[in-house]
Chains A and B, each alone.
Chain A
Amino acid sequence: SQTIHQWPATLVQPVGSPLSLECTVEGTSNPNLYWYRQAAGRGLQLLFYSVGIGQISSEVPQNLSASRPQDRQFILSSKKLLLSDSGFYLCAWVSGRGTDTQYFGPGTRLTVL
């Protein structure tokens, strides 16, 4: 069966520090991968998505970046965090066509102080 992992589960970082969040998927090949951010009590904002290794589409210009070094690995990074980067970061995958169901990971709660 397919599983999706995200780590860390929670993270507290100072303003200006770097960030690296990792997402890995097991049990599937060539998935579409997505990074979302959810501010407290708010909806889901799509940040990046990838349809294959090295292919990244950015939805919102900001100080975040994403990379897909392997088929089932998706990384969200920042060189210098801002207070506004705080939120709940969710990774999701889709098997095959991008129009299908998205399966979300457990998420990372990031607090920037």
Chain B
Amino acid sequence: GQQVMQIPQYQHVQEGEDFTTYCNSSTTLSNIQWYKQRPGGHPVFLIQLVKSGEVKKQKRLTFQFGEAKKNSSLHITATQTTDVGTYFCAGNFGNEKLTFGTGTRLTIIP
């Protein structure tokens, strides 16, 4: 079946350190989206990547889509306490639904 694997499951970092989460699909994706879920909240859309090799930045966040459109990454530079939460990638295989990764829970050590 169509699955999206995401690693790591958990990441604990000191405030100011960088953080990266990775997603991989066994088949080519039409696009990949990233969401953030704060503790106790609901997922909120961050960004969508569509083109092969695409790189997008949002302040300290950098999103990449692989050349083969099978993998993606989210990198946060110099983490802050406001970055706490679970980051999900969600792949679209060209149909009406998204397949979410298992998420990476980020905790920040002040």
**A interface residues, Cβ below 8 angstroms from B:** 32, 34, 36, 41-44, 46, 49, 51, 57, 59, 90, 98-107
Whole-angstrom distance from the CB of A83 to the nearest CB of chain B? 22
Which residue, of A34, A41, A102, A106, has the highest number of chain B Cβ atoms within 10 A? A102
12 cross-chain CB contacts under 8 A? A36-B100, A44-B88, A44-B100, A44-B103, A49-B96, A51-B96, A98-B95, A98-B97, A99-B30, A102-B33, A102-B45, A102-B98
In this assembly, does B31 line the interface, its C-beta being within 8 Å of a C-beta of chain A? yes
Number of contacts between A and B (CB, 8 Å)? Answer: 52
In this assembly, does B43 line the interface, its C-beta being within 8 Å of a C-beta of chain A? yes
Contact A106/B92 with A101-B33, A101-B48 known, Cβ cut-off 8 Å: no
Selected from A32, A43, A103, A105, the residue in CB contact (under 8 A) with B96 is: A32
In this assembly, does B94 line the interface, its C-beta being within 8 Å of a C-beta of chain A? yes
- Interface bits B20-54 vs A (CB < 8 Å: 1, else 0): 00000000001101010000001111001000000
Chain A residues, CB < 8 A from B45? 101-103
Chain B residues, CB < 8 A from A57? 96
B94 touches A99 (CB 8 A): yes
B92 touches A99 (CB 8 A): yes
Closest to A109 in B: B40
Selected from A42, A49, A100, A107, the residue in CB contact (under 8 A) with B42 is: A107
Chain B residues, CB < 8 A from A102? 33, 35, 43, 45, 90, 98
For window 69-89 of B, CB contacts with A under 8 Å fall at 88
